[in-house]
Amino acid sequence: MSVESLTTVSPATSRPILSRDGISQEDLKRLPEVAQEAFQSFSQSTTLKQRQEIVARALDILEDRKDELAWEITEQMGRPIAYTPVEVMTAINRSRYLNKISDSVLGEKGIVPGEPETGFKRYIKRKPVGVVFILFAWNYPYLILVNSLIPAILAGNAVILKPSPQTPTIVEQVTDAFEQAGLPQNVIQFLHCGSPNMLETLIRSPLINHICFTGSVEGGLAVQKAASSRIVNIGLELGGKDPAYVRDDVDAAWAAEEIVDGAIFNSGQSCCAIERVYVHQNIYERFVTEVKKVLSKYRVGRPTDPEIQIGPVISKRARETVLAQIEDAVGKGAKDDTPANETFDSLPNEGNYVKPTLLTGVTHDMIVMTEETFGPVIPVMKVEGDEEAVQLMNDSEFGLTASVWTKDVARAEKLVEQVEAGTVFVNRSDYPAPDLAWTGWKNSGRGVTLSRFGFEQFVKLKSHHIKDYPK
For residue 391, what is the enclosing H or E element? helix 386-393
Percent of the chain with pLDDT over 90: 99
Q: Quick check: 263 pLDDT over 70?
A: yes
* 103-141 per-position pLDDT tens digit: 999 999 999 999 999 999 999 999 999 999 999 999 999
459 DSSP 8-state letter: E
Decide: 219 and 196 in contact? Cβ < 8 Å.
no
Give the mean model confidence (pLDDT) for residues 255-275.
Answer: 98
Q: How confident is the model at residue 471, as a pLDDT?
A: 85
Whole-angstrom distance, CA of residue 423 vs CA of residue 432: 8
User: What percentage of residues in the chain have a pLDDT greater than 70?
Assistant: 100
Query: Which fold would CATH assign to domain 242-432?
Result: Aldehyde Dehydrogenase; Chain A, domain 2 (3.40.309)
Query: pTM score > 0.95 for this model?
Result: yes
Question: Does residue 1 register a pLDDT over 70?
Answer: no
Arithmetic mean of pLDDT over the chain: 97
The question of whether 307 is a catalytic residue gets the answer no
Please give the DSSP secondary-structure letter assigned to residue 376.
Answer: S
Report long-range pairs for 447-453 (Cβ below 8 Å, ≥24 apart).
Answer: 447/212, 447/233, 447/234, 447/235, 447/236, 447/237, 448/235, 449/147, 449/148, 449/151, 449/235, 449/237, 450/94, 450/98, 450/147, 452/101, 452/104, 452/105
Per CATH, domain 5-238+444-467 is 3.40.50.700: no
Indicate the domain borders of the chain: 5-238+444-467, 242-432
List, for residues 2-49, the tens digit of each pLDDT value. Answer: 789 999 999 999 999 999 999 999 999 999 999 999 999 999 999 999
Residues 261 and 255: their CA atoms lie apart, in Å, by 10
For residue 184, what pLDDT band results from cuts at 50, 70 and 90? very high
For the segment 381-405, the average pLDDT, to the nearest whole number, is 98
Q: Is 433 helix (H, G, I), strand (E, B) or coil?
A: coil
Annotated catalytic residue, options 237, 275, 290, 456: 237
Report which DSSP code applies to 273: S
Nearest to 363 by CA among 331, 399, 385, 403: 331
| Torsion over CA: 459, 221, 204, 38 (sign) | negative
**Quick one: which of 442, 445, 416, 414 has its CA closest to 429?**
416
What are the strands of the beta sheet with 233-237, ordered from one edge?
Answer: 188-190, 158-162, 131-135, 210-214, 233-237, 445-446
Q: Which residues pair with 277 in a beta bridge?
A: 244, 380
- pLDDT tens digits, 203-258: 999 999 999 999 999 999 999 999 999 999 999 999 999 999 999 999 999 999 99
The pLDDT tens digits for 134-145 are 999 999 999 999
Q: Per-residue pLDDT averaged across 288-296, rounded? A: 98
301 pLDDT above the threshold of 90: yes
